[in-house]
Amino acid sequence: EPEVTQTPSHQVTQMGQEVILRCVPISNHLYFYWYRQILGQKVEFLVSFYNNEISEKSEIFDDQFSVERPDGSNFTLKIRSTKLEDSAMYFCASSESEVANEKLFFGSGTQLSVL
């Protein structure tokens, strides 16, 4: 079965540094998402992306965050200047359409640790 792949699986960075989390969505999918899960807390929506534009974002997704689809296969999440509270598991997801009952396929996540 096709899958969403995320790299790296773990990322350790110093506070204030920039990080880029990478994702390769399923090849025929058109809608892409980032979610995060702070340890012991809920999985939270960050942003959705379609046709090279952000279609929806949450309050968490402030100016420190950006997303990009630099080529036909990758989808990245950049955190410009990391804070301690950015430490979390970040999940990339993709879906074939935006139909409301469409299921999302999630990657295995990138565990980001900000020291």
* Binding residues for another protein (CB under 8 A): 31, 33, 35, 41-45, 48, 55-56, 58, 89, 91, 93, 98, 100-101, 103-109
Tokens for 111, please give them.
Answer: 């565990």
Residue closer to another protein (CB basis): 79 or 93: 93
Q: How far is CA 43 from CA 1, 19, 52, 99, in A?
A: 24, 20, 24, 21
Residue closer to another protein (CB basis): 9 or 81: 9
Neighbours of 67 (CB within 10 A): 23
Q: How far is the CB of 61 from another protein (least distance, A)?
A: 11
| Helix, coil or strand: residue 84 | helix
Residue closer to another protein (CB basis): 60 or 64: 60
Neighbours of 85 (CB within 10 A): 10
| Helix, coil or strand: residue 85 | helix
Residue closer to another protein (CB basis): 62 or 103: 103
Q: How far is the CB of 81 from another protein (least distance, A)?
A: 25
Q: How far is the CB of 15 from another protein (least distance, A)?
A: 24
Q: How far is the CB of 43 from another protein (least distance, A)?
A: 4
Whose CA is closest to 93, among 104, 102, 85? 104
